[in-house]
């Protein structure tokens, strides 16, 4: 029985260390059992349940925004607690002797205290192992605590740096799409023939932004829970608005940037699908249509004013529907999971521009 507890403690330590390594050090998502994944799923569900009690939408969004930064120290505490329990189980299971070689076993509470003071390198000295195996556990735990602290010191600033870079890109894109974000606003401003060079630059810049975003968020999925500092702005709404823009630009068959637009669309679609996979959500193909029954004609009317003409008849709307079905189910699923609103297709005053 005691030996089984010791082995279980060793297994717990290995799982926690692997989870921490895969989260902080390894630059990609792994499919192995990850306690942090269940930690985030469970704590986010609990957080959203409390948020549902807040009736004001903006205050509720502000409450959601607390979760991302707060989850980092909570996750680190979760790992630390797991390691302390794991080493305590090994001490108790493999019969670490304290002070004397007397016969008998110390209680688990004592072993937990010994493990805690060792992991946090307090060095109180009131409990000391006297057998070789117990001393080995103490040395290993002290080293684990020291290395963990060193890694944490570098991890938190890294997240802050990546978050700041993401927000700068989103802010620049948001200035072009307006508030609330809308592909129609962007094309009203940059869809004219004389603005074609600027539109092409926006496509190139957005591709680079999305590639950087994807790499950073696959490596550090916690960033998906980090909310933007400005109300109505988010990585999901920016990514979806860009996909909307690319979808609309594929409708005019003679558009000179059609080839570039297809590449941008594939890149942003890949990023959205990968984020859905990282967050472990399935595409939602049953949600209400974002565009609505009259939305397409409003889009057609607004964009014809800037020289973007869609094919006559139902072909253009059918093509847009097919393109939307490639990415909107993923966007809707991620939106539901993270409680982030998606951008509008047609702004309240589309003709006013951003």
User: DSSP letter string over 128-141?
Assistant: -B-SHHHHHHHHHH
The string of pLDDT tens digits covering residues 87-101 is: 999 988 888 777 644
CA distance 272 to 249: 19
Model confidence over 220-253: pLDDT tens digits? Answer: 889 999 998 887 789 999 999 999 999 999 998 7
Please say if the pLDDT value at position 353 is more than 50.
no
Report DSSP state, residue 107. Answer: -
Instruction: Express each pLDDT in 210-221 by its tens digit.
Output: 999 998 998 888
Note the pLDDT of residue 93. Answer: 86
d(CA 180, CA 64): 19
- Measure the CA–CA gap between 175 and 172, rounded to whole angstroms: 5
Q: 252, 316 in Cβ contact below 8 A?
A: no
Q: Is 170 exposed, middle or buried (0-12, 13-18, 19+ CB in 10 A)?
A: buried
Residue 82 has pLDDT above 70, yes or no: yes
Say how far apart CA 26 and CA 106 lie, in whole Å.
39
Which helix (H) or strand (E) segment holds residue 328: the answer is: helix 315-338
For the segment 258-297, what is each residue's pLDDT rounded down to a tens digit? Answer: 889 999 999 999 999 999 998 989 998 887 788 876 788 8
Task: State the pLDDT at residue 27.
Answer: 57
Q: How far is CA 169 from CA 46, 277, 281, in A?
A: 31, 23, 25
pLDDT in tens, 32-75: 567 888 899 899 999 999 999 998 888 898 899 999 999 999 99
Contacts of 240 (CB under 8 A, 6+ apart): 272, 327, 331, 342, 343
- Sign of the torsion formed by the C-alpha atoms of 223, 226, 228 and 233: positive
Question: Picking from 124-128, 192-196, 344-348, which range would have the lowest pLDDT averaged per residue?
Answer: 124-128
User: What is the predicted pLDDT for the residue at 352?
Assistant: 42
pTM to 2 decimal places? 0.85
């Amino acid at each position: 029985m005691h030996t089984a507890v010791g082995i279980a403690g060793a297994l717990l330590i290995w799982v926690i260390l692997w989870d921490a390594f895969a989260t902080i050090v390894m630059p990609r998502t792994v499919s192995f059992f990850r306690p942090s994944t269940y930690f985030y799923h469970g704590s986010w569900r609990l957080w959203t349940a409390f948020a549902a009690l807040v009736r004001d939408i903006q205050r509720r969004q502000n409450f959601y925004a607390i979760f991302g930064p707060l989850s980092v120290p909570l996750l680190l505490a979760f790992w630390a607690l797991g390691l302390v329990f794991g080493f305590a189980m090994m001490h108790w299971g493999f019969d670490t002797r304290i002070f004397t070689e007397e016969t008998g076993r110390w209680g688990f509470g004592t072993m937990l205290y010994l493990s805690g003071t060792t992991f946090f390198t307090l060095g109180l000295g009131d409990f000391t192992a006297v057998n070789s195996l117990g001393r080995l556990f103490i040395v290993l735990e002290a080293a684990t605590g020291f290395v963990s602290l060193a890694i944490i010191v570098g991890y938190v600033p890294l997240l802050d740096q990546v978050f700041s870079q993401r927000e700068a890109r989103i802010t620049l894109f948001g200035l072009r799409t307006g508030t609330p974000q809308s592909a129609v606003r962007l094309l009203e401003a940059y869809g004219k023939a004389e603005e074609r060079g600027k539109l092409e630059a926006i496509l190139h810049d957005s591709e680079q932004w999305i590639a950087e975003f994807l790499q950073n968020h696959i490596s550090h999925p916690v960033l998906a829970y980090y909310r933007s500092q400005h109300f109505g702005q988010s990585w999901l709404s920016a990514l979806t608005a860009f996909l909307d823009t690319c979808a609309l630009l594929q409708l005019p068959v003679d558009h000179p940037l059609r080839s570039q637009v297809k590449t941008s669309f594939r890149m942003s679609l890949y990023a959205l699908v990968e984020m859905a996979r990282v967050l472990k959500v399935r595409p939602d193909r049953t949600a209400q249509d974002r565009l609505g029954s009259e939305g397409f004609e409003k889009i057609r009317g607004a964009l014809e004013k800037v020289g973007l003409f869609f094919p006559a008849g139902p072909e253009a709307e059918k093509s847009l529907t097919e393109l939307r079905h490639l990415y909107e189910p993923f966007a809707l699923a991620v939106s539901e999971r993270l409680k982030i609103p998606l951008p509008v297709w047609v702004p309240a005053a589309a003709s006013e521009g951003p």
